Amino acid sequence: MINARLLFIENMSTAKEEIRKIGVDAVSIPWLSNKALFITMKIENVSTFAANIIKQEMLGKGGDVAVNRGVANFSISTSDILIMGTYSQYNKLIYKLEMQPGILKEIGEEIKRVLTGLDVGKPEYFECGKYKLPIGEKTYIMGILNVTPDSFYDGGKYNNIESAVKRAREMIENGADIIDVGGESTRPGHQPVEATEEINRVMPVIEVLAKEFNVPISVDTSKAIVAEKALKAGAHIVNDVWGLQKDAGMAEVVAKYGAGVVMMHNSDNCEYSDLMGDIIKFLRKSIEIAEKAGIRKENMVIDPGIGFGKNLDQNLEVMRRLKELSTLNLPVLLGTSRKSMIGNVLDLPVDERLEGTAATVTLGIAKGADFVRVHDVKEMARVVRMTDAMVRV
């Protein structure tokens, strides 16, 4: 019986493997795999002149380009464009564009940057201080330890050293790979905390954790002075909910100590011209800031910022489109634990959102998350192990 079925090929390694399994000559695999990988790429704010040329060039190579209807008659000045074609067709387009002057060459180089990322992928390791965590082998669990009186779920539970250390030990025994210590609530409507107060909250706990436990310690802060004190005390990662863009000194502090950094997207409002496009632009700026300060790719993780500057529909859209973050070629951290997105969908209070959290963790891993930040370590460790068994090869 003839049996036709669809294959979903999302990267070059999958393309090569499927072609190899057919039994073709080995020398043909690189040539055929370039045609097996179909890519749709969006480029924003392209001049009408450039859009017309790119469309004609791609049509001539067997691909296509979707443009605004006003491009054909030059009734608009710019347009977002969708390029659709195989890896091979893109390479031919890049060759032609890079031969041209000005904006066409610039667009060609941008397309080449994105395509190169498909081959290069994420760094092999996430490096944070003395720790070196392999990327791709498993999903890492970041246990949340809030030493605050007002965090939305566990505020006031662990705001003394004894209870905080006990909680950290429990999370590590249950499977936490990283402990994330926060001294200022970032819940909606939270009251800002002075740096001195934040330091007083996190420093004693971090000092003890760094001595007693052999796991990376993260400090959840957007203040450079707090980050530096924490790193001096033994922390290995800075988890910045403003992606190095709130405090101009943060990137230099991270670079100085060779720390890892989680750069999260954030916004003061929920207004976006293109949600994922704007998130990626924000994170690209964070990456540029990090690189200028001397932070290496191996020290970087990105976070789309679920629940930060996004309404319910936007949070759900980010979850659906999480794979688009692969454009940035960095490990991804996902923090959805017990958040209002889950409460709003299920109409449940914060203490009844365990199953909803599990659903988001599973989907997140399937869509490329490498780290998950959670309150319920024991339960989520089981979810992670099961999802990894299905998703990771």
Active-site positions read 339, 373
Shortest CA distance to 41 belongs to which of 72, 87, 7, 78?
87
Here the tokens at position 261 are: 């950094």
What is the DSSP annotation of 295-351? Answer: --GGGEEEE--TTSS--HHHHHHHHHTGGGGGGG-S-BEE--TT-HHHHHHHT--GG
Distance of CA 365 to the CA centre of its chain: 11
What pairing do the DSSP bridges indicate for beta strands 217-220 and 178-182? parallel
Here the tokens at position 282 are: 């924000």
106 secondary structure, DSSP code: H
Asked whether the beta carbons of 372 and 143 are under 8 A apart, the reply is: no
Backbone angles phi, psi at 240, to 5 degrees: -105, 110
Q: What is the largest CA-CA distance in the chain?
A: 73
Cβ-count burial 198-234 (b if 16+ within 10 Å, e if not) = bbebbbbbbbbbbeebebbbbbbbbbbbbbbbbbebe
Here the tokens at position 39 are: 């890519």
The Cα 367–Cα 25 span in angstroms is 33
Q: What is the CA radius of gyration of the chain?
A: 23
Q: What count of Cα atoms within 13 Å lies in the side-chain half-sphere of residue 49? A: 5
The Cα 58–Cα 72 span in angstroms is 15
